[in-house]
Amino acid sequence: MKKQKAKKKRLLLKILILVSFILLCLTGSLFYLAYRIIELFPVRVEMSDPKIAPLLNAAESFERVKYGFSPLPEKADVRLESRPMRQAYDAMLHISSKTSRTIAFRKTDKGYRWIGEQETFRGPNRYKTVDGTFYEEITLTFHIEKVSGHPTNRLNVSYFGEDPRLANLRKLTIKDVQPILREWGY
């Protein structure tokens, strides 16, 4: 009887250890999985955060003013996307101030390389679509690698709205939109 009780205790102890080990593995995996999922979402950082200094340095290689983009702001709401699900880029900054912009980067042996940028300028007028009511926008996109559906190595200009000066033009250029951007206060 004593032997049977001792055997039963050892078996229960082994089961308890096994269950504890399984739970530990599962929780560790769940924590790891949760951590990886959280990394997929852009995290808020300051423009002065040393973590994004290499990205901002790489972003300076783009002659943004030459192509109609505004200079990078000193203060902004900044989000860092450091583990994107897409293979199109290795890191991305989402910068919101007077305009909204995304800047894509490729990781290199020496840090990061700028591979593309998109900036959206919001206009004063609203327009309606089947999806709702929106402010008119002019968007400038320039990529040197395939990041979105836009052609690479050239400025792509888009307008969303009802302004007849822009809405009816098929291929917009920076010269088409610069007067409107000035009119909007950019």
**Among 123, 115, 108, 63, CA closest to 92:** 115
Pick the residue with more confidence: 15 or 40?
15
Question: Which range is least confidently modeled, 28-42, 61-75, 114-128, 140-154?
Answer: 28-42
pLDDT score recorded for residue 85: 72
pLDDT score recorded for residue 46: 94
Amino acid found at 176: D
Cβ contacts of 169-175, under 8 Å, gap ≥ 24: 174/67, 174/68, 174/140
Mean pLDDT (whole number) for 100-117:
96
Distance CA 186, CA 100 (A): 13
Cβ-in-10-Å burial (0-12, 13-18, 19+) of 104 comes to buried
CA end-to-end distance (rounded Å), the chain: 89
Q: Percent of the chain at pLDDT above 90? A: 70
78-95 residue pLDDT tens: 999 987 677 899 999 999
Distance CA 41, CA 20 (A): 32
pLDDT(35) > 90? no
What is the rounded average pLDDT for all residues in the chain? 87
pLDDT(40) > 70? no
138-171 residue pLDDT tens: 999 999 999 888 999 999 999 999 999 999 888 9
pTM of the model: 0.78
44-57 residue pLDDT tens: 999 999 999 999 99
Mean pLDDT (whole number) for 167-181:
94
Beta bridge partners of 143: 116
Distance CA 7, CA 91 (A): 57
Q: Percent of the chain at pLDDT above 70? A: 78
pLDDT score recorded for residue 87: 85
Distance CA 142, CA 117 (A): 6
